[in-house]
Amino acid sequence: MVLVVWVRFLRFWIFLAAIAVMTPMAWSSMTGGDDAQEIRLSEGLESFLEARRLEAKGEYRQAVEKYELAATEAPEVNEIKVVYASLLLDLGMADKAVKLLENRVDLDFYGLRVKALALAQVSGHRPELMPQAREALEGALADQSEDPNLQFSLARVLEGLGEIVEAEEAVAELRQAMGDGPRLLGFHGRLLARLGRYEEAADAFSGCVDDSFAAELCRDGLAQSLVASGQRGVAGEKMLGWLESDNLDGLMQAAALLSDGGRPAEALEVVRRVLGAEPDSPSALMLEALVLTDLGRYHEAQPRLEKLVRKDKDNVDLLLALAWSSTAAGRKDLDEGRSLVGRAWEIVAEDAASPRAVHVCLSAARLELVGRHPNAAREWLDRIGDIDLAGPQAIHLLAETFRQGENWKEGAGALLRIQPKLGPELRSTAVALEAEMRYRGGDYKAMRLLRPLKRSERIGDVFEALQVVQRLELWQEVEKTSVAALENFTGDRRLIFARASALERLGRFDEAAEQFSLLLEMNPNDIDAANYLGYMWADRNENLDQALVLVQRAVAADPENPAFLDSLGWVQYRLGQLGHAERWLRRAVALGGAADGTVLAHLGEVLLGHEVCLSNHSRPDASFRIM
């Protein structure tokens, strides 16, 4: 819009200049003089005026021909060439505009401006012209420093020259001056991403995902920036907001991101939408099995995985998932899991530094930790050459090897020693876990190590600190840290959840309920919030009908989750529905809930309730409530 206004003003000014070179007779005709019959325009001006008329009518092809004639007839008149070049620029013929003006050294500001903009456009496919374009743009800006089109073009040229910091600063100033147009937002997002400022990039891209012109660029940029900032689950969620139902490849990508981002229940829902359309899709069947494993629904996952492995014996991901599923499904030893991991390692061992090899090492270490073999787990972790490639999971697994033996001093030392080898993000993880080890070993001043992480502009740092104080059950610190972080990361679901759970642990139940309700307003499908709030109400023996609706919603979304089944059984116990309660609690135990003493305690309460009912000659599902 700004460009159009400038061009119209420019052309009006040049038109007046052209009139000034008319012969007296021409001017007499224009003003209605007596000599109109004998009018003759100066050479080139007649063609110029005809070109102007054709351009105004939108007959651009004919206008270009007339401008070309006028420039040939009056080669010394800059104004004709500038107006002609401006039209060529508008029509995407910047190369021709540059050629038209390249030898003109006596151009005024408007001529310099058109030439600079044309050079900038041409330099997009002729990089050797970028230094010349930069010089021309900076020269034009010296006379008109607030021209947004010149500023925007200069920023693009700076990007092309690799001067990303300067380009980003220029675009940031433009956004302050002009507001957030979709084209500007998309460009700024790209620059921020190139600078590694992914969260800011995601914020910029979010502003233009619905624009018809910039949607594709901004949507791709948003997803990539969220992934790069560690928010893979959020990236998958955002993708679902714009994907069409028949875009099966896009849905699979979103499902994979949700799975990688720790949101397996949502991933399963999406992948089953794909399977509804393509029941035999190998990639969808594989992802379904992997997600079921992540959800702990091993009895469903295992037969699927075994079938898939028979068809694809060298698929490392399937072998590792089957290893985990076989071990976690209730086997008393790790032999089968170790055998499958061994097969996976044979496949990747030749390239031990590859991402696949790292994945095998991490999975093997995790498996050994489940079997409480921390030394064996450390041996697998020691095979990882590049700890940065392994990501934060490797550091968390290393810390767990020391937790299992309560070797706090050794753990703190190990985490301190690896920090110089790590990039900034992974170093934050190591610092946070070092603080935990020191605190557990009696060094309570170690919490000072978390202060920079809590104040960080990277939300990942904040969560590393939060996880430490949560594991240490320092609930007041969790609540305080969450509130402070929400000032910088307003509306972040994970921070609100952390605060809500801390408030519940602190006995501030009404405040906790408000926060969980806020999460459900933000996303009615937040099954973790639904389950937590429903269980909290059941535990307090209040709002039981609402609690039942909430936990039923969670169980419907993830019917094999022992924690959700426990919540459902506990609500029904409170409602006096002892038969239903016993069935759900026994199912929770069968699906792995036996490891949680709370589930067994709930089942014991239900069985005791049965005895009370029988002694009173009451039916198990009689309409009374446990008070």
Question: What would the pLDDT profile of 402-413 be if each residue is shown by its tens digit?
Answer: 999 999 999 999
Q: Are residues 167 and 270 in the same domain?
A: no
Residue 352 domain-assigned (yes or no): no
DSSP letters, 452-491, are HHHT-SSHHHHHHHHHHHHHTT-HHHHHHHHHHHHHHSTT
pLDDT score recorded for residue 594: 59
Same domain as 60, residue 205: yes
Lowest model confidence (mean pLDDT) among 108-122, 318-332, 384-398, 508-522: 318-332
Question: Which of 200, 199, 144 lies closest to 171 in space, CA to CA?
Answer: 200
- By percentage, how much of the chain surpasses pLDDT 90? 50
**Over 60: is that where the pLDDT of 313 sits?**
yes
User: Which residue matches tokens 């433009």?
Assistant: 174
179-187 contacts, C-beta under 8 A, 24 or more apart: 180/207, 182/207, 182/208, 182/211, 182/213, 182/214, 182/218, 183/208, 183/213, 183/214, 184/152, 185/214, 185/218, 186/214, 186/217, 186/218, 186/221, 187/152, 187/155, 187/156
Q: In sequence order, what are the residues at sequence separation of 6 or more whose Cβ sits closer than 8 angstroms to the Cβ of residue 163?
A: none
Q: Is the pLDDT of residue 593 over 70?
A: no
Domain that holds residue 287: 230-295
Boundary residue ending a domain (249, 268, 295): 295
Residue 278 forms part of a structural domain:
yes
CB 532 within 8 A of CB 517: no
pLDDT at 39: 43
Confidence of residue 329 (pLDDT cuts 50, 70, 90): low
**Per-residue confidence (pLDDT) for residue 559, from 0 to 100:** 84
In a domain, 115, yes or no: yes
Query: Long-range contacts: 10-14, Cβ < 8 Å, 24+?
Result: 10/82, 10/83, 10/86, 10/110, 10/113, 10/114, 11/52, 11/83, 11/86, 13/110, 14/79, 14/82, 14/83, 14/110
Distance of alpha carbon 533 from alpha carbon 542, whole angstroms? 11
For the chain, what percent of residues have pLDDT higher than 70?
Answer: 89
Shared domain for 55 and 200, answered yes or no, is yes
pLDDT value of residue 1: 38
User: Can you read off the two tokens belonging to residue 79?
Assistant: 């104004």
Domain boundary among 258, 280, 295: 295
Residue 586 within any structural domain of the chain: yes
Statement to judge: residues 171 and 234 lie in one domain: no
Instruction: Let me know whether 121 and 29 are in one domain.
Output: yes
**Mean pLDDT computed over 505-529:** 94
212 CB neighbour count, 10 Å cutoff: 7
Note whether residue 318 is domain-resident: no
Q: Whole-number mean pLDDT of the chain?
A: 85
pLDDT band at 512 (very low <50, low <70, confident <90, very high): very high
pLDDT, tens digit, 9 for 90 and up, residues 416-447: 999 998 888 889 999 999 999 999 999 999 99
Domain tally, the chain: 3
Residues 123 and 169 in one domain: yes
pLDDT at 612: 54
* Residue 296 dihedral angles phi and psi, to the nearest 5°: 80, 15
Judge whether residue 246 has pLDDT over 50.
yes
DSSP 213-263: TTHHHHHHHHHHHHHHTT-HHHHHHHHHHH--TT-HHHHHHHHHHHHHTT-
pLDDT over threshold 60, residue 6: no
Last residue of a domain, one of 211, 238, 270: 211
Looking at per-residue pLDDT, the higher value among 608 and 223 belongs to 223
Q: What local confidence, expressed as pLDDT, does residue 627 receive?
A: 36
| Token duo for residue 148 | 């947004």
SS3 577: coil
Residue 149 maps to a domain: yes
Residues 30 and 167 in one domain: yes
Phi, psi of 244 (to 5 degrees): -75, 155
Q: Are residues 258 and 110 part of one domain?
A: no
For residue 617, count CB atoms less than 10 angstroms from its CB and return exposed for 0-12, middle for 13-18, buried for 19 or more. exposed
What Rg, from alpha-carbon coordinates, does the chain have? Answer: 34
- Give the span between the Cα atoms of 356 and 351, in whole angstroms: 9
- At 283, which amino acid appears? S
> Are residue 84 and residue 203 in the same domain, yes or no?
yes
Q: Report pLDDT for 17.
A: 47
State whether 181 and 234 are in the same domain.
Answer: no
pLDDT-derived band at 20, boundaries 50, 70, 90: very low
- Specify if 544 maps to a domain: yes
- The residue-averaged pLDDT of 16-30 equals 41
List, for residues 130-161, the tens digit of each pLDDT value.
999 898 888 888 877 778 888 899 999 999 99
Q: Record the tokens describing residue 366, joined without a space.
A: 């995790």
| pLDDT tops 80 at residue 193 | yes
* pLDDT, mean of residues 291-316: 88
Provide the CA 74 distance to its chain's centre, in angstroms: 57
Cα dihedral 299/303/304/310 (nearest 10):
150
Q: Tokens standing for 588?
A: 């929770």
Phi first, then psi: what are they for 362, rounded to 5°? -65, -45
What mean pLDDT comes out for the span 589-595?
70
Residues 72 and 176 in one domain: yes
pTM over 0.75: no
Count CB neighbours of 185 within 10 A.
25
Read off the pLDDT of each residue in 370-393 and give the average, rounded to a whole number: 89
Q: Is the pLDDT of residue 34 over 50?
A: no
Helix axes 45-56, 2-20, angle to 10 degrees: 150
The CATH number given to whatever domain includes residue 121 is: 1.25.40.10
In this structure, is residue 377 part of a structural domain? Answer: no
Of the two residues 344 and 588, the one the predictor is more confident about is 344
Measured distance CA(407)–CA(197) in Å, rounded:
38
pLDDT recorded at residue 47: 87
Does residue 255 surpass a pLDDT of 90? yes
Q: Are residues 188 and 266 in the same domain?
A: no
